[in-house]
Chains A and B, each alone.
Chain A
């Protein structure tokens, strides 16, 4: 237990922390940092999000903008109709794809046999590294000790690396009074740009000694047996399965309407949708935490991309492109759902920006991507990552138009929408919304969360928020691609979990 005096300076607090948690040698740190930031860029420059657009993409974008501008200037009605029709077609394709994957996932999950975990002696268990990146996490760091203590894994086989930015005085101050378990230590990440979670994780990976690696956020509460389940699953899966994603769930679902929607969102995604993707052999966009990876494979594919703000989704796709697989394990990690609207928009816009980044990076070499992912994989990745933010924005547009149409069509709107486009668009919007509501409802029912039925029914309202986030993300993608907008945690009130 370290005491501290209020009049300490940040420097002194840092020194005290280092005293308790010795850091690696300066040279080792510099090396690790260099690899963390530039590693992927050097080994696989074509997969790095350092630059959002490469040559041909820039030209293509410029040409598209020029064509659109010209089109709108010369033939606005025709151009508008074609554009809208293309967007609606994309929307329909995305809906169909999601429905197919959902149906598959539902069947897969329904037919799962529950097997008991076989007994595994401590000697058999591999060494496990848990990376916990923390940035300005004063509030939740205290819970970390509890969650770590609850993990059912032999302490001598466990290694927890808390990754804290060197100049993050807030977190350092919060950590000083804590009594961390013996297997946990703090790694101070040298202050550097880009200031992102994947960079910190890459840094930590360099010093990790475990055979298996996973990430947890500071506020996560993983199910105690999760690590054992991952070990067991890795054993039973083939050598090509190098990554396992656990199910993320929110413990503050009932806090307000936003958390309910968010929980419905996560439930549908993690409980049904990801198993569907895994069942088809499609790339699985990983969740931000609770993805358990074989360390050597992770290093072999280049680690995480420090410039990508959804490094998890990117990694999932990169794994499949390298011929490796992701599976899903039936284990839950509880997280805190964003309960504040503004905060939520920030988080979601970061995700959308990351999705678009991810797609732009992977689509740099479309032929190679097609070859490595297969046609279904290619389509799936495009519709799930690149198209998702776009379609969220489109949804907003289509609702606005539908409302205007029902109230009374201004003649200009009637021109942009020739009859077939109107019918197609309205039908697509109707079925799209109905499908999403229905699918969410089934997911809630499947996971015994019938109390979220109302949230599922009002889900289209949640999409309004998503559309706002989509617009914001598009702007940020252009202006500040690698800016990691920090989500504030600790907003959950104590309530029924």
Chain B
């Protein structure tokens, strides 16, 4: 059995034919799909449908490349850094010529559209690699590409679709490994999930599930081949897990290095616990939460239980690797989200359940051997999903970030939803334009980019005006702003919880004008508006906790200051 490796003859003929199925060249439609998503996204955001989280990520990207202190750590450590790091070069290259890149979040649109098209490509290749023809491939791919929920998230600049892309890519490689046993496939699956972790932390659930599957499957295969089971299983689990571990250690380590905090996503200040506390979800009774969860899932995929039941049946009967892999990767994520929502550690937002869409749609390939019946089932499931997603994303009781996009699609004006829904940009725009006109020097406006006021940075044409928590020496600037050159504070009403703006936390009386040596310079909005903000000018040195002597000010409690 002699084999030879020579230059230029990388693949022996038969293997080359197998490899062709992998199709290394890119077909025509993914770039077209990406372009379509970008166009839709630009249309939507230029009409006011901008997702809050998406714009915040773009602002983080902007802080990495623009402003007075460009540095990588400005990307922030509360969310996965990868989307912002991808948007950063876009801003660097195009923000001058296309102001909407930052102001309307187009950089985010481009990022998520690209991932959206890539997701659909992975779905298509997955189906084809199962041995299905182009018809099935197109059907399943369209089932994802045209699904209203997926479309919304592909065009919005949010991280859900990029996240799904990494999951499905990992799934593809995992199934390939299960079929053919090539370690390179397992390594690639691990690398995709490593990248996924840098997008959203829920990837860890998928990684855990996949690792269990890897160890179990490897052990099973080793037993069949008569090799030592435990060792092979451990080796395979490591091959899979190390890239995820590297991503985890890297992000955690860098986070610790720069902020002193290991896990910003779970921090009390800006992470999930904060949202849950301020937006008060933990107070719903369990039965209601269960009802919301099931409505969300069934809304997105009405035939989800049917597919799961049939899938389990097929998997048991035909020992299908696909179903196992789907459960281990996408199912684990969905289960994790359900658990998190049920225990109240995150809110009941519809988009947390987005992973059921690719789970159900990809599971349809299990029914391909049923021929016409399989096709009919697939069409029914996909059709039901389209209808259900369309309906639930238009329902204000369940949808929130999705509403503006849905509203645009039906021609009604964007629904002004709560904090993490669409954000109202006109208010931010007004403040930003006023600041652009009024303020000459850099580093003179202090604003918290992690609260709601990040939109001011987005709408301003001069990123260098702003001092944010990402700036160098932010703490010392916060303690002695005037001495550091700061002349303006942008602040929000304290009713949202003082923790929601670091300015309010350090200067509790600022909103009511109770801080000495400050005067109201500009105001926008009224009580009850999403953008009800004030800009205070500093006329002299101020220090934290200095609430002033007027009677109305004396009641301001200084205990909201952070423990140092």
- Judge if B316 is at the interface, Cβ distance under 8 Å: no
Q: Given A106-B184, A448-B227, A451-B228, A327 and B235 touching (CB < 8 A)? A: no
Q: Are B182 and A110 in touch, CB under 8 angstroms?
A: yes
Q: Are A229 and B2 in touch, CB under 8 angstroms?
A: yes
User: Which of A66-74, A122-130, A272-280, A474-482 sits within the interface?
Assistant: A272-280
B306 to chain A, nearest CB (A): 39
User: Which of A35-43, A179-187, A230-238, A363-371 sits within the interface?
Assistant: A230-238
- Judge if A113 is at the interface, Cβ distance under 8 Å: yes
Complex CA–CA separation, A115 to B409 (angstroms): 60
Q: Given A278-B7, A327-B6, A114 and B1 touching (CB < 8 A)? A: yes
Q: Given A115-B3, A116-B1, A241-B6, A451 and B242 touching (CB < 8 A)? A: no
Q: Are B2 and A117 in touch, CB under 8 angstroms?
A: yes
Q: Are B5 and A450 in touch, CB under 8 angstroms?
A: no
Q: Choose among B4, B72, B183 the residue that contacts A329 (Cβ–Cβ < 8 A).
A: B4
- Judge if A178 is at the interface, Cβ distance under 8 Å: no
- Judge if B255 is at the interface, Cβ distance under 8 Å: no
Complex CA–CA separation, A282 to B12 (angstroms): 19
Q: Given A113-B12, A430-B250, A444 and B235 touching (CB < 8 A)? A: yes
Complex CA–CA separation, A203 to B175 (angstroms): 56
Q: Are A106 and B1 in touch, CB under 8 angstroms?
A: no
- Judge if B238 is at the interface, Cβ distance under 8 Å: yes
- Judge if A47 is at the interface, Cβ distance under 8 Å: no
Q: Which residues of A sit under 8 angstroms from B239, Cβ to Cβ?
A: 438, 441-442, 445
What is the chain B residue whose CB lies nearest that of A235?
A: B2
- Judge if B515 is at the interface, Cβ distance under 8 Å: no
Complex CA–CA separation, A330 to B1 (angstroms): 8
Q: Which residues of B sit under 8 angstroms from A282, Cβ to Cβ?
A: 7
Complex CA–CA separation, A269 to B130 (angstroms): 34
- Judge if A315 is at the interface, Cβ distance under 8 Å: no
- Judge if B92 is at the interface, Cβ distance under 8 Å: no
Annotate B1-38 by CB proximity to A: 1 below 8 A, 0 otherwise.
11111111011101100010000000000000000000
The interface centre, meaning the residue of B6, B232, B242, B246 with most chain A CB atoms within 10 A of its CB, is B6
Q: Is the interface of A mostly helix, strand, loop or mixed?
A: helix
Complex CA–CA separation, A275 to B5 (angstroms): 6
Q: Which residues of A sit under 8 angstroms from B554, Cβ to Cβ?
A: none
The interface centre, meaning the residue of A110, A278, A445, A450 with most chain B CB atoms within 10 A of its CB, is A450
Q: Choose among B5, B183, B236 the residue that contacts A328 (Cβ–Cβ < 8 A).
A: B5
- Judge if A60 is at the interface, Cβ distance under 8 Å: no
- Judge if B231 is at the interface, Cβ distance under 8 Å: yes
Q: Which residues of B sit under 8 angstroms from A327, Cβ to Cβ?
A: 4-6
Q: Which residues of A sit under 8 angstroms from B7, Cβ to Cβ?
A: 278-282, 325
Q: Are B238 and A441 in touch, CB under 8 angstroms?
A: yes
What is the chain A residue whose CB lies nearest that of B234?
A: A453
Q: Are B5 and A108 in touch, CB under 8 angstroms?
A: yes
> Which of chain A's residues 260-285 have a Cβ closer than 8 Å to chain B?
275, 278-282
What is the chain A residue whose CB lies nearest that of B190?
A: A438
Q: Are A441 and B242 in touch, CB under 8 angstroms?
A: yes
A402 to chain B, nearest CB (A): 11
- Judge if B243 is at the interface, Cβ distance under 8 Å: yes
Q: Are A107 and B2 in touch, CB under 8 angstroms?
A: no
Q: Are A442 and B2 in touch, CB under 8 angstroms?
A: no
Q: Which residues of B sit under 8 angstroms from A113, Cβ to Cβ?
A: 3, 12, 14-15
Complex CA–CA separation, A108 to B182 (angstroms): 11
Complex CA–CA separation, A423 to B253 (angstroms): 12
Q: Choose among A103, A232, A434, A448 the residue that contacts B2 (Cβ–Cβ < 8 A).
A: A232
- Judge if A488 is at the interface, Cβ distance under 8 Å: no
Complex CA–CA separation, A237 to B184 (angstroms): 27
- Judge if A300 is at the interface, Cβ distance under 8 Å: no
- Judge if A56 is at the interface, Cβ distance under 8 Å: no
Complex CA–CA separation, A332 to B72 (angstroms): 48
Complex CA–CA separation, A17 to B359 (angstroms): 77
- Judge if B187 is at the interface, Cβ distance under 8 Å: yes
Q: Are A237 and B4 in touch, CB under 8 angstroms?
A: yes
What is the chain B residue whose CB lies nearest that of A274?
A: B5
Q: Which residues of B sit under 8 angstroms from A111, Cβ to Cβ?
A: 10-12, 15, 19
Complex CA–CA separation, A104 to B7 (angstroms): 11
A13 to chain B, nearest CB (A): 42
Q: Which residues of B sit under 8 angstroms from A450, Cβ to Cβ?
A: 227-228, 231-232, 234-236
Q: Which residues of B sit under 8 angstroms from A241, Cβ to Cβ?
A: 6
Q: Which residues of B sit under 8 angstroms from A116, Cβ to Cβ?
A: 1
What is the chain A residue whose CB lies nearest that of B6?
A: A327
> Which of chain A's residues 366-387 have a Cβ closer than 8 Å to chain B?
none
Q: Are B6 and A325 in touch, CB under 8 angstroms?
A: yes
Q: Which residues of A sit under 8 angstroms from B228, Cβ to Cβ?
A: 450-451
Q: Which residues of B sit under 8 angstroms from A329, Cβ to Cβ?
A: 2-4
Q: Which residues of A sit under 8 angstroms from B3, Cβ to Cβ?
A: 112-115, 329-330
Complex CA–CA separation, A281 to B6 (angstroms): 7
> Which of chain A's residues 430-476 have a Cβ closer than 8 Å to chain B?
430, 434, 437-438, 441-442, 444-446, 448, 450-451, 453, 457
Q: Given A107-B10, A108-B10, A434-B246, A445 and B5 touching (CB < 8 A)? A: no
> Which of chain B's residues 213-269 have a Cβ closer than 8 Å to chain A?
227-228, 231-232, 234-236, 238-239, 242-243, 246, 250
A317 to chain B, nearest CB (A): 15
Complex CA–CA separation, A453 to B11 (angstroms): 29
The interface centre, meaning the residue of B12, B227, B238, B243 with most chain A CB atoms within 10 A of its CB, is B238
Q: Are A107 and B184 in touch, CB under 8 angstroms?
A: yes
A273 to chain B, nearest CB (A): 12
Q: Which residues of A sit under 8 angstroms from B227, Cβ to Cβ?
A: 448, 450
- Judge if A331 is at the interface, Cβ distance under 8 Å: yes
Complex CA–CA separation, A282 to B231 (angstroms): 35
Q: Which residues of A sit under 8 angstroms from B72, Cβ to Cβ?
A: 423
What is the chain A residue whose CB lies nearest that of B235?
A: A450
A276 to chain B, nearest CB (A): 9
Q: Which residues of A sit under 8 angstroms from B250, Cβ to Cβ?
A: 430
What are 7 A-B residue pairs whose CB atoms fall within 8 Å in the complex? A106-B184, A112-B3, A115-B1, A329-B3, A438-B246, A445-B232, A450-B234
Closest 4 pairs between A and B when the two form their complex, measured CB to CB: A281-B7, A450-B235, A450-B231, A229-B2
Residue numbers of A with Cβ under 8 A of B are 103-104, 106-117, 229, 232-233, 236-237, 241, 244, 275, 278-282, 325, 327-331, 423, 430, 434, 437-438, 441-442, 444-446, 448, 450-451, 453, 457
Q: A112-B15, A278-B7 are in contact. List 13 more A-B contacts (CB 8 A).
A: A104-B10, A108-B5, A110-B182, A117-B1, A237-B4, A280-B7, A281-B7, A329-B3, A423-B72, A438-B239, A445-B183, A445-B239, A450-B236
